[in-house]
Every structure is written in structure tokens, then in C-alpha cells.
Structure 1
């Protein structure tokens, strides 16, 4: 999709969708942005070269053309097939869509057959070498050892089979500033955590039989040509060809590592199944925005189920713990819900009007902020062409080298793209701002279901709460800790300001 401006109706959008049969058709970012603009009333007409460019999933294409577009009064035109929703000549569309999907399915089958034949004949199916190897310059299909990365692999295996755990290995690699495989593989990769090795990365490396010199095909497979999701195959489906490239570790070392992994997996599987935490999927860190992990009480060090910031658990330098006990959360949320219930019982109309009034004030403030940001972005976008012109003149005069010119132009391109994306987001927020009376009705209806409740339950939390942000606790004195949270309810968000 080309980037297109957001403006008031009417807007004619030429949507020539590029479709690749191996991708998930309707999960393209620009397509999703177009549909969002359709729902926001910013699009009057969608034009495609032909139906296959719009999509090859006949069910979803029919849903968009026959249900979604008419619902938002959007005209759909397919040029090649001479179809126009306003003229009502879409009778052949289901058949055309079905033929398009058959074509995609046939291509997918041929691709799978080709990949299967290559894999069964010993051809390596990976597109690039794994960490520890590189392509042989003389034979691009062969792998040779990358000694720098291979030294890291040997160290990881040696530490693991000698009894070191994944946490100890990750800590050692971080302290010695060893780049992660992702950072090492890309010279241009920028990361705030280039040495932050995770357990999953280490476990993946320790499980790769390729380090013994073997080729392992069909570890994974795509579920369907309609879906990008990849699933892992059981080992019995793997096809292994031994001694196809130089080995980094011995088979004895690899077998010892697999035995340790198997023992730990067995211990984990034998643990009793724990219940889903009461605040599952609603707790977030108020500072970094990441989810909070549960820490189960064990009777020795932790005497109550509690939650901590997931970022802090991985790297304490990036965020603080934001520690809070589940008992404290229950008390704070229970008291907050009881306040609105008592208000509802005393005067439902007053509660509804006050919430709507507060939401309007909040939306007006947000709209003003977004509008101001759009003005700032427009000023900068108008400045960039002049900067480009001056830079080009300086290059012609010899004041700027070709390398510096290319770097600055690239940074200006990146800045322009980011600013345009941010501008679109701001405009979406501005256009979507409205009096959310419907959301208030939803909130009050759900609140009525739990009048005079005795005990907070996971069902209530799921029904009422959208998210809870946990702040770092305050300490008025060395002996007192005050937990701080922000509760956002479904339909109305954070309405604590209404009570002030």
C-alpha cells in the first residue's frame, strides 16, 4: 500500500494490494490501517486492480466486500472484473474469489512438495547459518565454522554440562559483554540490550544437534498457507543427515547437555499444576509498561502470592521491581469497586452523568494534546524539504562528502516516515474521540451484576477490569509502605479523577 493522507470524507483510496501466497493475507499493517480508516469514516471508495490483489481467501474477501464495506457506506470497485458495488454487479464475485483461493492453495502445495523433496534429499532447508557457522565463500551452500561465535557455543556447552544453570550462564555472558546471536548476526542491528541473554535463547542453542555436524530438517512447519503461525514438529518427524559440516562440539558433550535438559523437563512436568493467577493479564508496570510476573508463596522466603515487573526480573538496571502483594491488590480493588457500587445504589443517574462529564473533559484534553502534536509534526515535515535542498547544494559545492550526505539523507527519510506514522496515529485518536456513553452503560451494567459482593473473584476482575498499572510503592517512613495502583475499568478507563 502507498502511504496515504488522512482527511475528511470524501476520500478515494486506490488500494492495489500486493499479495504473496505465503503470507497471512489480511494481517498487513497498511491494510489494517486502511480498514481502521474505513471504520472511522475517512474512506469513501476502495479500488483494486482485481479481486486477487485484494485477497485470495474467499471467505474474508466476501466478508469485507459484502458486509464491512456496505456497513460503513464504502463503494468497492474491481477494475479488471468490471465489478462495482454501487451498480450491484457482484454476482460472480464468490466464484472469482473461490478460483483465486484455489490458485493460492495449488501454489502452496507445489511449494510444500518442493521443500519436502529437498529436505528428504539432504538439502539444508535453513536460509542462513545458525549462530556459530557462516557460509563457505567457495561454496555458498556449505557451512564453515565461525571461530568467534563457535568459541561462545563451546563455552555455553562446557558451562552447562559442568553444572552451571541458565541464569548463571546468562549472567556470565552479560558481564563479559558477549553479544547475543541476533546482535552478532547483524552489523547494523541497534539494541539497548546487546548482551542480555535470555533463558530461551540459551536453551535453543543447547538443543541444536547441528553443532555436532548434522543437518536437521523439518523441525518446524507452517500450519496453513492462510496462516503465518509456525508449529514445532515432534522429533520423530525430523529428518537428520549426519556429518554434513564441521562439528563445533563433540557428540558426547551434546548428549550430556540433552540428558540434563531432559532431567529438568521431567522435574518441571511432575510439578503440581498451579491455578491461573487471579490478576492474570491485567497487571502492568506503570513505568516501563511491561506485564507483572507472579511470584508464588513458598512459605519460606515469600509468605504471600505477589507480583513484580517482568523487565526488572530480566534486568534490574532497566526498571525497578514494582513489588506488590496479591492481598494488597485485592484490598485496593475491592474498596474501589465498593465505592462505585455505593454511588450506584444511592444515585445511578448522578453516577452516570458524572462519569460521562469526566470522560468528556479527559477526551478534550487528549484531543488538544494530539492536535498540538500534529501541528508540531506538520512544521517539521515542512522543514525537511528545505533541509534536503540545502544539503544537496552543500554536496554540489563540496562542503559535504558523499558519505555524510547519504547518512543524513537516510536519517531524514527515517524521521519523515516516523513522523508521518505518528501523525496518522494522532489523527486517529482525534477522529475517534467521542462521548463514550455506550461504554458507561457497559460499565454500569456489569457493576450491577456484583452488587453487595462478599469476595473478589477472578471472574469479577475479568468482567470489570481492563488493566491495572502498578507504581513503585511509596515509603512515608522506614516502617511503612504504601502500594499505589491505577485501575482502568472496561468501557470507561481510569475514572478516579471523577472522585476529586
Structure 2
């Protein structure tokens, strides 16, 4: 029995190396076949990894979807392994993404769908006669939950991709599914027709992380487009959106970590009017567009100097580390094969073989994670040049618009830092620093345009300064 366990362990280890290494040598494949021959138990050994059979791993590794199609897709009648768009449900998915891009929270989207009498996914499938696992736990077939909205907004499959091995089971006896680390996913891009544009999907992902707030009260109006953009420059907390209790026309933001309002630890409130921040951002974007229009070459040079030096240095370091990790990973495959041969020939005891095999496997898993992270970061760096072009296109698009909209705001700006007001009793200044997407903070050459000034209340003026503090 001990010998069988050793052989079975070797088979699993070899399978792991063969499936994860880029260099799948024929010798390793022959060793795997010989292992099953050595274990003469009157039948074929079904080797499993993470609770999956070899058959399932093979299917998932070739791009065949292992999970049922999500809401918005159905299986093709001609080929059940292919997903096609369900027009009725797909339109709801598009509406959900559109509302998310407009800045609506998940709770608000769920409320709107309920008011429109849109069936929840499970009720929709049952009405259409589509068999799905699970049962209806929501008695109201029109009551959408914000968790359902979140799930739809985070499903990459709507871009046309197939993602396998997102979950796994520890044993066929245990029906519970466990989340698989992202580096273990197998992703096949552009397999079926997309419902959502990939750029829109990526943009929504940044919003899903930021947007975790309850729906605004109806008497306070709709959610402001600057929600989730404003942050306290002192403590880094998000600024919350409020409506004045006595004058409903006054909307403002304040630090969510202010000690007197929320029992936080931020010393100052960082109060700023919603209409003021909109005017400041509009003025700054017009300055940006004006500078681009009149000094296009200088603007392009400014963007290049902003990131090129740091980007090239990081890219060189990552490439070196990636090559080192890849070489070591390939060496581990050879080392494991060598220890197996020594064990079979009797040069290496079973105990030492098991110890070395375990050591190599632990190191290989660590390298696998590192390689995934290095490749992911290098891919992001390689996209930075394209991102700069996208930023320039967004600025030019703004030049053609008369007012600022929520989708345009999300295309241009990553976040805004708001400082506390400074000054005397009747005249204040407040610093606001805008960080643009892809390029961060841009300090443009000084212009003749004046900063925005507002009379926040009778006899009190505030001048907003859109530049970072000098070191």
C-alpha cells in the first residue's frame, strides 16, 4: 500500500508538472504511462487534481465551457458546447452596464429593474423553460438584489470569453465548491459573441470596487456624478455625498472619516460644495483641452516624460525576474524527473524521494504565482502607450461637449484629492488636485485663466486652487 501511495503521489506530481510547464517532454509522458502500468490494480487509475478528473481537465483546457452559460446567453441548439446570445436577457445586461457607467449604484440599478417589472434571472429561466440548478429563494420574481447586479457586472464572460476552473471541489464526496485563485483560471478570449464591449467592462470593474453605498433618498435627488471620485487629501478616506437638511438645493461632500461626524480620526471635515467641484473640474478640463489644442507636441512630450523613465526601469526589472523564475521552473521539472529516475534505480530512497518531491512542488507553486504576477504587470506596462492615446482621445472628445457627463468624467479622471480650506474669516482658499486616468497628476504651465471662486454663503468667498502643494 505504501508503494502504491508513492506511485500515485508521483503520478499526481508528474501530471502537475506536465500540465503547468511549457516544456512537456516526451520522457515525462512516458513516465506517467509507466506509473499506471506499475500500479496493477486491475483497472485504469483515475488520477485527480484539485478534485477534478483528467477528463474534466482536458475538456476545460481546450476551451470547452465547463459551467452553464450566464444570464444573457443560452446554449446553441446545433452545438451545446457553444454559447449564443439570448436577445431578451442580453438587453437587460446591456442596460445594467449602461446604468453602472452612468454612475448608478448597484442598489439603484436593482430598484430600477424592479420598478420596470424585469424578471430576476432564476424566474426568467423558469418562465422560458431553461433548466438551471438551484431554486428560487426570492418570493418576488421582480425583486432584484444588488448582489445579483454585482455578479453580472463582474462576469468577464460578457466580453466573449470562456473562463474555466474558477471553482473546484476538494473531493467527489464533498459537493461544496471553493473559489480557485485567479492564477489557476484558464481563460479563452473572444470565443463567443460579446454582449459588452471589453473597454466598458474594464471601466465598470473600477467602479464596482469603489461603489459600495446605499441608494440615495428620493427627496435628496439622484446620486452625484462625483461620488466615488473625491478623497480626503489628509487621511485618504472617501468623501461622502450629503444634502443639506434645511435647504435641499445645497449638496456637498465631506470626509467620511471626520471625527465629529462619523467618530473617525480625521481632524478636519474637508467640506466642499457639489456645484463648486463641478465648476472647478470643468475649468481644469477646459484648460487641459486648450493646452492640447494649442501645444499638441508639448502636451505629448509632457505625457511621455511623465511615465517613460519609471516605466522602462520597472519593465527591465520585471523581465529579468520573469526570465529567472521561468528558468528555475523549467529546472525544477528536470530535477523532479531526475529524482524519479534515481528512486526507480534505487539510488534514492522512497523517504528522500518524497521529501525532495514535496520541496520541489512547494517551490514550483510559488514560482507559478510569481510568473503570473510578472506577466500580468508586464502586460499592463505594454498597454500604457495605448492608454495615453485613449486619454488624448477622451480629452478631444470633451472638447466637443458643452457640459460634463458622468461617462466622460470616468473616462478622464481617476480620483480627486480635496484639501481643507485655509485662510481668514471672510476669504478662504481650498486646494483641489485632479489625478487623471493612466497619467496621474499633470501640472500644466501657468495660464492667464483665473481660478474658480464661489460665494458659499453670505459674505464668505472661497477660491479653489487646482494644483498640488509644492514640496
Give the shorter-chain TM-score range: 0.3 to 0.5
Higher relative contact order (CA 8 A, sep 6+): 2
TM-score, reference length from structure 1: 0.34
